[in-house]
Chains A and B, each alone.
Chain A
């Protein structure tokens, strides 16, 4: 909020040196560029989207996880078939908390895990036949709207051609069947998988259903995955604003909605990292402009809602938005006033994902807390430094392998009125494609760390002694062993929702609970500093 206290952060150069000192020379040299001491006034290059150094203990997962787990996982009317040995499919089975609401009889395959469970003979002789059989069987049993195939590491190596199998099956079964070559070794993190997922949905799904749905305003929300019900909260706002939210990529989503998603007037991008590709491609092919929004944080939500209303230049819509903001902000303020005295000045650190480590700083700011250090797990330079650096990003060998689709204007479906609208709004100072990245929003001397390693987080915890630390499941209990509350920002610790105004309130209360619980104070036993008691107890034989 606006009454942010001026807190000067110490220069963390020493701790950075300390951390690097432990590393072998080559490692130190590489990691140094991933740890930037922030100066929001300056242009600083943040090394990111580069290979993780072997043995470093990283947070990162693989391309398959980004493709199947992140982008396609939350879509319910499709059988997502993992082609590979059993593990990859097993681990991505229901482990992200994408909520979905299929209604009483809607299609929902998200509770199922489908796998070809490749055996050694399939690895030796190839798995294409087994894949085709599995698709047939899935069709016979489930009659789904669509089936997709996800390749895992060994599939790429043995050379199964999943796309040919997909084409054949599509013809044979008469439903949409398509494949993702998202082998885990592609790229350097989940990020490659996002891109691959975006590409294939764009080529094989978007644009299949041209029936324009009702409503004066139609939009897509991109990069909102409905963890803990975030999307449900946002859906309600759109309802109240009489905006038809045609599709969400991909929280609480259906393939049917994706098919129709090129009919909207505006794309709104939440998680820039995972989904900007499809926004860009839709603009090129159909003319749909996109804006960056953020619904994490009450202020950010208000700002985003206003921005949407401004886009449509509709007074009724604007007044609806103001009404929502006014009534919701009242409650927000009540809770902030309650928690702020207990949280003001507390220190937070967060290393997670590709957008949340930025977005969640808003929420901490609103409580008067300070983010001293943050970083992403799989983001690119534009997510740190802003889209202004896009042209200067060098494409390395690992990224070059990820297909960049050549998209051309669809002469029949392109809507020229949209770029016209865009041009006129631009003139009035309205901003499109406007992601400025994390670093300009962070304090001077905050430490920005990309793809943080376990060693680095250990040292930084010692140094900053944070009141709360945010990351993912693998870090959760490591951090808590230090006696520091740890908030998972992938799964929300099975809580949430945290989006929108209601979500912000949930988050304030949650952080207040975590930081101010009594239990941390009980960790040291009362006799710890009373040697005589310990000595006497040691005499007792059991």
Chain B
């Protein structure tokens, strides 16, 4: 047994987190910054954080993840990190020549109280920022929120810095993407273009962390939201923000700064969340929903009606981020599956409220918890008390999966032991189809492997 010390008996804990279902803010800021074209993320702190974040993102994408660090020493942690950041800015622009440096803080620089804004101002005054180059920033203290908070902060930081309003509205919608894969961002753009909606996607990690093998390395791959688009986002007629946790702050910022009205919608995972996304986008962009979208939706529904018997009533445990879990739970319910256990380390009362709305009638026995101490250890203990048929979450679930012999669908962050997430979306109707196909594969493979020979089926 890999998790041999996890007891069935649940003791209340108030201080000890075991096997967390979240990580820290800066990695989210780093990921969001990768979705900006020509941008080098920069971690203002000791070099360990940056090394950890780069390594984790690299393992997840199997792609280059470049970022700088202020490389604090004990001295900087006593006297503050201003000198380190000033040197970093100068060195990075000289050596690596990005268009933008996106600075985020770390626990260390936050605890010291470094004022990023003021230091960047100083760098500008000192002539360390070449003309036409930019340094954006956000604060990401990891003792608040989670990796999702960091992502949200960086997206907001980018908009705060770049978005401008000329006073003339353009026939265009901003799409702010929550924390999803490059494949999902690509799919969101495809759906918008199928609908004929003129849009800007921010951030956009497609063509950045899924770049092709060409025999040459490009530090700033062709993807990512451009400066021009970020500036222009202030003139868009509306913003559709996908995923409340990761995008709401940015949408509000854009409204306050440039008077762009916004709507929040869930990340379009599953039928109903995609329905809402498509409907809202069609209204905001003032376009009709084309037949091709109806067809994609219809194909998803067709598969579900055909294969419903294998899904119905199956108990599921999930862990991950609220923005993904909420629409995923809704989708599982639409498949007549039972999401019985849910944890997320990302705090926010709204999550419990949304889950309550979704689950109270259909799965009254469901247990869920988010925020501090909502960890995978607790989830595993719930499973030990009453098992589930399927696990959905990041790679760390493979230990539970193996110990308890439960099929396991990898979704979320990080996925460091399989590929696919960067290339095949889970958003939209086509993404829904992929999720259903994967779930069916897992459940039916288990049936094939474990059923008595007498009832082994050829046709299923």
A401 at the interface (CB under 8 A from B): yes
Q: Collect the chain B residues with CB atoms within 8 Å of residue A109's CB.
A: 5
B279 at the interface (CB under 8 A from A): no
Partner of A24, one of B91, B111, B215, B372: B91
B107, A116: Cβ atoms closer than 8 Å: no
B217, A184: Cβ atoms closer than 8 Å: no
Assuming the contacts A53-B91, A476-B58, A523-B214, asked whether A85 and B47 have C-beta atoms less than 8 A apart, the reply is no
A60 at the interface (CB under 8 A from B): yes
Within 8 A of A (CB), among B28-71: 42, 45-49, 51-56, 58-59, 61-71
Residue of B nearest to A139 (CB): B16
Within 8 A of B (CB), among A31-80: 51-65
Q: Collect the chain A residues with CB atoms within 8 Å of residue B95's CB.
A: 22-23, 27, 55-56, 453, 455
Q: Collect the chain A residues with CB atoms within 8 Å of residue B49's CB.
A: 62, 87-88, 153, 184
Residue of B nearest to A119 (CB): B143
Task: Give Cα A213 to B242, complex, Å.
Answer: 63
A157, B213: Cβ atoms closer than 8 Å: no
Q: Collect the chain B residues with CB atoms within 8 Å of residue A53's CB.
A: 71, 87, 91
Residue of B nearest to A520 (CB): B215
Most chain A CB neighbours (cut-off 10 Å) among B23, B61, B88: B23
Q: Collect the chain B residues with CB atoms within 8 Å of residue A86's CB.
A: 17, 20, 22-24, 142, 146, 345
Assuming the contacts A113-B20, A455-B96, asked whether A477 and B141 have C-beta atoms less than 8 A apart, the reply is no
User: Interface size class for chain A?
Assistant: 35 or more
A185, B72: Cβ atoms closer than 8 Å: yes
Task: Give Cα A61 to B96, complex, Å.
Answer: 20
From A89-97, A430-438, A504-512, give the one contacting chain B: A89-97
Residue of B nearest to A110 (CB): B2
Q: Collect the chain A residues with CB atoms within 8 Å of residue B333's CB.
A: none
A117 at the interface (CB under 8 A from B): yes
A112 at the interface (CB under 8 A from B): yes
Residue of B nearest to A90 (CB): B23
Assuming the contacts A133-B14, A474-B51, asked whether A23 and B94 have C-beta atoms less than 8 A apart, the reply is yes
Residue of B nearest to A117 (CB): B17
Task: Give Cα A91 to B374, complex, Å.
Answer: 18
Q: Mark B284-301, 1 if CB is under 8 A from A, else 0.
A: 000000000000000000
Partner of B74, one of A102, A112, A123, A398: A398
CB distance from A506 to the nearest CB of B (A): 21
A478, B64: Cβ atoms closer than 8 Å: yes
Assuming the contacts A61-B47, A109-B5, asked whether A85 and B73 have C-beta atoms less than 8 A apart, the reply is no
Partner of B15, one of A116, A152, A157: A116
Q: Collect the chain A residues with CB atoms within 8 Å of residue B69's CB.
A: 52, 54-55, 57-58
Q: Collect the chain B residues with CB atoms within 8 Å of residue A131's CB.
A: 15
Q: Collect the chain B residues with CB atoms within 8 Å of residue A472's CB.
A: 55
Assuming the contacts A117-B20, A137-B13, A474-B54, asked whether A153 and B77 have C-beta atoms less than 8 A apart, the reply is yes
CB distance from A522 to the nearest CB of B (A): 9
Most chain B CB neighbours (cut-off 10 Å) among A95, A112, A138: A112
A118 at the interface (CB under 8 A from B): yes
A120, B144: Cβ atoms closer than 8 Å: yes
Q: Mark B67-90, 1 if CB is under 8 A from A, else 0.
A: 111111111110000001101111
Partner of A153, one of B61, B65, B108, B217: B108
Residue of A nearest to B13 (CB): A137
A220 at the interface (CB under 8 A from B): no
CB distance from A319 to the nearest CB of B (A): 41
Assuming the contacts A91-B52, A184-B108, asked whether A118 and B91 have C-beta atoms less than 8 A apart, the reply is no
Most chain A CB neighbours (cut-off 10 Å) among B17, B75, B92, B211: B17
CB distance from B167 to the nearest CB of A (A): 38
A503 at the interface (CB under 8 A from B): no
Assuming the contacts A118-B143, A523-B213, asked whether A55 and B42 have C-beta atoms less than 8 A apart, the reply is yes
Tell me how many residues of B have a C-beta within 8 Å of chain A. Answer: 86
Residue of B nearest to A476 (CB): B58
Q: Collect the chain A residues with CB atoms within 8 Å of residue B217's CB.
A: 458, 478-479, 481-482
Q: Collect the chain A residues with CB atoms within 8 Å of residue B15's CB.
A: 116, 130-131, 133-134, 136-137
B2, A58: Cβ atoms closer than 8 Å: no
CB distance from A345 to the nearest CB of B (A): 22
Q: Collect the chain A residues with CB atoms within 8 Å of residue B90's CB.
A: 24, 55
Task: Give Cα A488 to B106, complex, Å.
Answer: 28
Task: Give Cα A17 to B70, complex, Å.
Answer: 25
Task: Give Cα A134 to B313, complex, Å.
Answer: 38
B107, A140: Cβ atoms closer than 8 Å: no
Q: Collect the chain A residues with CB atoms within 8 Å of residue B106's CB.
A: 153
A398, B24: Cβ atoms closer than 8 Å: no
Task: Give Cα A419 to B429, complex, Å.
Answer: 75
A397, B87: Cβ atoms closer than 8 Å: no
Task: Give Cα A137 to B378, complex, Å.
Answer: 14
A186, B74: Cβ atoms closer than 8 Å: yes
Assuming the contacts A54-B87, A86-B142, A137-B11, asked whether A61 and B48 have C-beta atoms less than 8 A apart, the reply is yes
Q: Collect the chain B residues with CB atoms within 8 Å of residue A130's CB.
A: 15
Residue of A nearest to B14 (CB): A133
Task: Give Cα A540 to B102, complex, Å.
Answer: 40
CB distance from B47 to the nearest CB of A (A): 5
Residue of B nearest to A523 (CB): B215
A535 at the interface (CB under 8 A from B): no
CB distance from A70 to the nearest CB of B (A): 12
Q: Collect the chain A residues with CB atoms within 8 Å of residue B42's CB.
A: 55
A115 at the interface (CB under 8 A from B): yes
Assuming the contacts A458-B217, A473-B55, A481-B213, asked whether A55 and B70 have C-beta atoms less than 8 A apart, the reply is yes
Q: Collect the chain A residues with CB atoms within 8 Å of residue B108's CB.
A: 153-154, 157, 184-185
CB distance from B42 to the nearest CB of A (A): 7
B307 at the interface (CB under 8 A from A): no
CB distance from B420 to the nearest CB of A (A): 16
Q: Mark A194-208, 1 if CB is under 8 A from B, else 0.
A: 000000000000000
Task: Give Cα A116 to B2, complex, Å.
Answer: 22
CB distance from A495 to the nearest CB of B (A): 14
A64, B17: Cβ atoms closer than 8 Å: no
B349 at the interface (CB under 8 A from A): no
A524 at the interface (CB under 8 A from B): yes
Within 8 A of A (CB), among B105-133: 106-108, 110-112
Partner of B48, one of A62, A105, A123, A134: A62
Q: Which 8 A-B pairs have the closest CB atoms?
A: A62-B48, A87-B24, A55-B88, A133-B15, A55-B91, A91-B52, A483-B215, A153-B108
9 of the cross-chain contacts (CB-CB < 8 Å) are A55-B70, A57-B96, A58-B69, A102-B4, A112-B5, A134-B16, A184-B49, A401-B74, A523-B213
B residues sitting closer than 8 Å to A (CB atoms) are: 2-5, 7, 11, 13-20, 22-27, 42, 45-49, 51-56, 58-59, 61-77, 84-85, 87-92, 94-96, 106-108, 110-112, 141-144, 146, 211, 213-218, 345, 372-373, 377, 396, 399
Known: A91-B52, A120-B143. 7 other contacts (CB 8 A): A23-B95, A54-B88, A153-B72, A185-B46, A187-B73, A188-B73, A481-B213
